[in-house]
Amino acid sequence: MKAIHTSSAPAAIGPYSQATYNKGLLFVSGQIGIDPSTGMMGKSFEKQAELIFDNLRNILTAANMSFRNVMKVTIYLEDIMNFETLNRIYALHFGDPYPARETVQVARLPKNAALEISLIACDRF
């Protein structure tokens, strides 16, 4: 197993890697809407989502991949009422065939984030 790290995404806030890679599979840890250059959380749901997708893109790039390599996405929402907004932003980053996905509402996220997204990608097609 190889740890993937980039300074273009927030450092892990606990004892875990931004991502790990093994045998063609990349497992990206849950990302919340933190700006890696300031360490500040986005003020709105939309800004947090945009920051998350930027951070995910940067982690994928560090592993020589892109959103086209993503096979599975897991999304945690603090408020399921943001589901439509999430889908609009999500569709800007993924195309057909879309990755498998689940989206669930949770009671609370680290740093009181509005959402958290993790993913699994594969470099072999």
106: CATH: 3.30.1330.40
Residue-level pLDDT at 124: 82
Does residue 108 have a pLDDT over 80?
A: yes
Structurally, the chain folds into a number of domains equal to 1
Largest separation between any pair of C-alpha atoms in the chain = 38
> Using DSSP, how many helices (H) and how many strands (E) does the chain show?
2, 6
> Which residues are bridge partners to 52 per DSSP?
none
As a whole number, the mean pLDDT across the chain is 97
Task: Reply yes or no on whether the pLDDT at 104 is more than 80.
Answer: yes
Specify whether the CB–CB gap between 108 and 77 falls below 8 A: no
pTM of the model: 0.96
Q: pLDDT tens digits for 8-54?
A: 999 988 899 999 999 999 999 999 999 999 999 999 999 999 999 99
Residue 49 vs residues 1, 3, 43, 121: alpha-carbon distances, Å = 29, 24, 10, 19
Domain that holds residue 104: 2-122
